[in-house]
Amino acid sequence: MTQTHQTHALHYLSDRPLTPVSTLALQLVVIVVKWEERRRTRKQLNRLEHCHLNDIGITARDARREARKPFWIA
């Protein structure tokens, strides 16, 4: 989901009261989406070459350390 779609969806939802179950379900979806994004970006980070890591200002050691973190840890 792109940021624009996400913002639109959240704005739409913020105009309507949610039931407690709907609120919980929405919170769970947000958590799962964050976890998936972390998993995907850490996997991509682990594949970057040294020159690309230098471009973003981190060392290979830092990249490996970040890539090894479990997806549920920020």
| Whole-Å CA distances, 37 to 18, 20, 40 | 26, 26, 5
pTM, full prediction: 0.69
Domain boundaries defined on the chain:
31-74
Task: Give pLDDT tens digits along the chain (74 positions).
Answer: 445 555 566 666 667 788 899 989 999 999 999 999 999 999 999 999 999 999 999 999 999 999 999 999 99
Q: Tell me, what's the pLDDT at 16?
A: 74
